Chain A
Amino acid sequence: MRKNLNVIAAYTIMMGLIILVGIFQSWNIALSIFNLCLISAVMTMGANIQWGYAGLINFGIMGYTALGGLAAVLISVDPVQEAWSAGGSNILLSLLLIIGMVLAVRYILKKYEKSKVRTYIIATIIIAGIIIIRFVSEPGIEAIEEVDPAKTGFLGGFGLPIIFSWIVGALFAGGLAFIIGKVALGLRADYLAIATLLISEIVIAIIKHEDWLTRGVKNVIGLKRPAPYEVNLQQTDWFINLVERFNLSKLNLITDLTERQAALNQFVIEGSSIFVKLCYSGLFLIVVIILLILTQKALYSPWGRMMRAIRDNEEAANAMGKNVVKQHLLIFVLGSAIVGIAGAMLVTQDGLFTPGSYRPMRYTFLIWVMVIVGGSGNNFGAILGGFVVWFLWIESAPIGLYLVNLTTAGLADTHFLKVHLIESVPYFRFLMMGIGLLLIMRYRPKGILPEKIEIK
């Protein structure tokens, strides 16, 4: 108990802050901050097992998040029948061609010794393959994109409940991580960072511009929800009764009947959106707790010890007969899969998929700030980092506004400096993140909750 005092204290303060937002701003804002904190926590856990456990830098978090989001779309949207009949066969054929191409390259790689001729043959296969695939897929893609472009214009998905996409998102992200890992894990740390950053940009470029698959920048809106809709809730009796019971004391103060009804309606509308957010919080909390238990167990297992050994001294671990390459690949895939879950959760919560909104600042660097600030190598630290940083990211605008008003109190309201500063309040978040990161790295390089290794 004593040992964990700082963890408990840190989390209590954090929850207290969110509750304060609830009291002073609104419970709606507090809950949406809380939900995104939970999603960020999942992302940081993914980044943390790569960086904290194994010392692998992954700057491609944005790419895996987007793939998770893509999974949510592909799983939950109903299939577009006309699009499938218009161009589905071409797409399937190109898919087969791609598989065939990969198999052919693999066969040649296995069968023949390394030589110049082999390299040329592989290059010819790939180039010829790409040209053939373009010829096959082009008419299909055009046909698909012409099917009611304002509403669909893409193949749609499988029409399954969106919750499944959380698992599929993990699979997608893990699959991508496997390919990237095979290619790039041999690189030195900062090269790996640059390579993963650039690869994630390629992923985003593909998601943005392959309209037949994702609708691209036209966005997919109105995804299914695992939680009830506000409009439906507002008409169900048990929910109205529940809201009435909660607000009984306030309602009893009003004597006039029509006024009372109006007040109740207001409470029901507010209550419904809070209720929906609470549903999401419950779901997300379950995911966070399951992942936390799993990652904690892994950290203190023999496997976790091996990972730390590899992180701290690769050569020694290698000499002890540990397969460093294989373990690196494994942890790279696992961490990315967790980030993929978070990506799917994010799209589930928003109910829309907007490829244009994936930017490295928000989805890669911010997550890294969370991991570093929270404490790499410590799961509780990483989760706390997700909470603290996301909280500041959202609340820095009000804080910034307050500071601006305080420092420029002597100036007239129309003074150009004051107007300019108030206009640029949204950018104070970058300043806070940057200064926060620099201070933490300088004075507490292991994060708020540093890594503690106890031998159990």
Chain B
Amino acid sequence: MDYINAIVLLLNYIFVPALAYGSQLALGAIFVTLIYGILRFANFATGDMMSFGTMVTILFTWYFQSLGISLGILPTALIAIPFAIIFMVGYMLLIDKFVFKYYRVSKSPPVQLAMVSIGVMFVTQAVVRIIIGPSDRRFFDGEKFLIKAGEFKEMTGLNEGLAIKSTQVITIVVTLILVSALFWFLNKTKTGKSMRAYSDNEDLALLSGIDPKKIVMITWIIAGVLATIGGALYGLDKSFKPFTYFNNMLPIFAAAIVGGIGNPFGAFLGGYVIAFSEILLTYAYKKFFMYLLPESLEPNTLVQLLSTDYKFAVSFSILVIVLLYRPSGIFKGKIL
């Protein structure tokens, strides 16, 4: 019985939260990696683009709520997301046309594009804060829990409860659907294949008649979808605050690089690597050992490897280690 309790404990505090957080990171990381692989620059505006998408989602959610539209137990935001995506894609294409295109056409070095993306970051951040303000927003409605801790305890008769929030399930399900659709697109369709060809070798791709304009446009469209959904899922699960989104850019970058930048599948797994290591290393295992060990051996400290204050530091340290020993990432991206 104790063993089951210990496992449920880990499931509740580590596995489920990490899976949801990892999915949110993974979507962002695929976004970063696509931009890097096809447009060839590190996009420092990632976090703020995600917060822009989330902001539009929130505005639509409020609008639908005021109309009285709802999905019952599911959050209203789910209907708002498709509309937000349209706005987001429009915004991205606009930015590309007025900002990035010039540097792409004049073949500027990647560093310059990265600097330009900092300008975009400033502007996007300002737009988001001017429209919705810098404060914390919650826009979740519907049923909060799929399984409540108390109900789980009653059902199984265990000491430990397992609480699963509906947002966590939505996050994981949506991520899986989206990512499988994306990989199907990249690997099976003609456009997807030409995107991969363009990312792999630009000159050869151009030579074989691939239209670069179309590739770039589709990249931004996919990026818009990923940014909006990733951002909205994070906001549903936790809450929306522009500053948090800006900060989330850092673990997202870590995930993309750990997974091997330019490699979408690596970025997908990288998100989970970062999320799990952050939570595994900062969890206090005291209760876990209390279930497993006999009473005489019970630990009297928290058995916590690092304090939760260092959550971000964990992912950055992993990144630094990966950069040093395997600059191409765990799952072989471009060798940089």
Contacts and interface: CB of A to CB of B under 8 A. Distances in A.
Interface of A: 57, 183-184, 187-191, 193-195, 197-199, 201-202, 205-206, 208-209, 361, 365, 368-369, 372, 421, 423-424, 427-431, 433-435, 437-438, 441-442, 445
A365 B320 contact: no
B114 A183 contact: no
A394 to B, nearest CB: 16
Contact of B336 (A191, A198, A424, A431): A191
B126 A430 contact: yes
Interface of B: 41-42, 44, 99, 102, 109-112, 114-116, 118-127, 129-130, 133-134, 246, 250, 253-254, 257, 307, 309-310, 312-313, 316-317, 319-320, 323-324, 327, 336
Contact of B130 (A202, A372, A424, A438): A424
B56 to A, nearest CB: 17
A187 B316 contact: no
A442 B102 contact: yes
A441 B127 contact: no
A14 to B, nearest CB: 22
User: Which of A194, A205, A206 has the most CB atoms of chain B within a 10 A radius of its CB?
Assistant: A194
A38 B123 CA distance: 26
Contacts of B125: 361, 427, 430, 434
A195 B20 CA distance: 26
B10 to A, nearest CB: 22
A317 to B, nearest CB: 18
A189 B119 contact: no
Given A197-B250, A201-B312, A208-B309, A368 B115 contact: yes
A165 B44 CA distance: 33
Nearest to B113: A190
B116 A195 contact: no
27 contacts: A57-B111, A184-B320, A184-B323, A193-B42, A194-B253, A198-B250, A198-B253, A198-B254, A201-B250, A201-B316, A202-B312, A205-B309, A205-B312, A209-B307, A365-B44, A365-B118, A372-B115, A421-B130, A427-B126, A427-B134, A430-B123, A431-B126, A434-B121, A434-B122, A437-B119, A438-B99, A441-B116
User: Chain A: interface secondary structure?
Assistant: helix
A183 B123 contact: no
User: Chain B: interface secondary structure?
Assistant: helix
User: Which of B118, B133, B257, B313 has the most CB atoms of chain A within a 10 A radius of its CB?
Assistant: B118
B249 to A, nearest CB: 9
A193 B319 CA distance: 13
A427 B115 contact: no
B115 A206 contact: no
A371 to B, nearest CB: 10
A47 to B, nearest CB: 12
B129 A427 contact: yes
A195 B320 contact: yes
B42 A190 contact: yes
A194 B251 CA distance: 11
A190 B126 contact: no
B257 A191 contact: yes
